[in-house]
Each structure stands twice: as C-alpha cells, then as structure tokens.
Amino acid sequence: MTKSIITLFLLIILINSCTKMYERTYDPQAVELNNKALELINQGRLDSALLVYDQSIKTDKTYYFPHIGKSIIYMRKKDWNKAFEETQQAIKKKPDYAEGYQALGLIADAKGDSIEAKEYYNKAIKKFDERIKSSNDSNALRSNRYNKITTLILLNETQKAEDEIEEIKRANSSDGLLEFINTLSRDSILYMIKNP
C-alpha cells in the first residue's frame, strides 16, 4: 500500500496524458525534467524529485504537471497544506483542470473537511461534464468519463457511478481499467490517500 497514492494519481495523470486533450505544447526540457522527476518518485527519491520538479517549473512557468507531481509527493508525506498549495498552482495555470479540483477534494477529505471536499468534487464533475460534452476524441471522452466515475464514488453517489459504468460497458464490455474503477469505494480511495 506504500505506493498506492502514487499509483492512483499516476493513473489519473497517465489516463489524461495519453489523450489529445492538452493542445498546448510545453517546453520540451520542462517535460523531460517532469518525466525525470516521475522516475525519481518511482525510485522513492522524493526530495530529489521535488528539486527536479522545481527545475521543470522554472523552465516553463506555464507547465502545470510539475505542480501535480509535487502535490503527490506532499500527499505521500501527509503535508496536506503544501499538497493543497501545489494543486492550486496547477489550477491557476490550467483553470479547466478537472483533475486538480478532484485532487483538492481528496486533500480536503484527508484533512477531515468533507464539506469543502464535496465542493471541489462538484467542481470537478462540472469540468468533466463540460469536457465530455465537447469531446470529439474517443480517448479523451473515455478518460473524462472514468475520472467522473471516480469523483462520483468520492461523492458517495454510487448509483450515478454505476449508471455511468453500465453505459460505458454497453459500448465496450472488455475494459480492464473500468473493471478496476468498479472495485473502488470512497473508503478505499480515502484509505489510499491517508495511508500512502
């Protein structure tokens, strides 16, 4: 369970980075530094990864991914305030970053503020719905629907999550990632966040 929080967020980031949702091109050196920091996280070298993320941010001040990486590290360290600040920085750079609002909800939940968490989850759902309605890319659509389902689970709206899952299954019955998401519960996700 020690890498579960990283796995969860890297999964979210991976799902989104595999889509064409992000039309803006970032400085290749910043992207390379971000990828190097991810490797350092996987090696357990969190403090080194923080330094590399800082270099990535300095290289391209518009690049929001390093802030999410830093947030993941701070969550793992249970430094909820710094995790919150880094996630807010990502959202300032990319205001439609639905996953950022989802992360702010998770952090608020980890801090014990379920009312604030619900507000962020609802913002995330709204952003995911906007993307779903405007998406012409099947990978982006799938990604946003999966993240919406996860957020519905976090809101304890299990019936809505199950309805979304059933709708996706009708279109593609052999989706392994959907099967994984279907095993999640609010408690299991929050456990992963609070016990990295």
In the chain, domain spans: 4-194
74 half-sphere exposure, CB direction, 13 A CA radius:
24
Residues 6+ apart with CB under 8 A from 137: 19, 20, 21
User: What's the full length of the chain, in residues?
Assistant: 196
CATH superfamily of 4-194: Tetratricopeptide repeat domain (1.25.40.10)
pLDDT in tens, 95-130: 999 999 999 999 999 999 999 999 999 999 999 999
Of 110, 170, 118, 120, nearest to 145 (Cα)? 170
Mean per-residue pLDDT for 159-167?
Answer: 91
The span from the CA of 9 to the CA of 4, in Å, is: 9
Residues 67-103 as b or e (16 or more Cβ within 10 Å = b): bbbbbbbbbbeeebebbbebbbbbbebbeebbbbbbb
pLDDT in tens, 50-84: 999 999 999 999 999 999 999 999 998 999 999 99
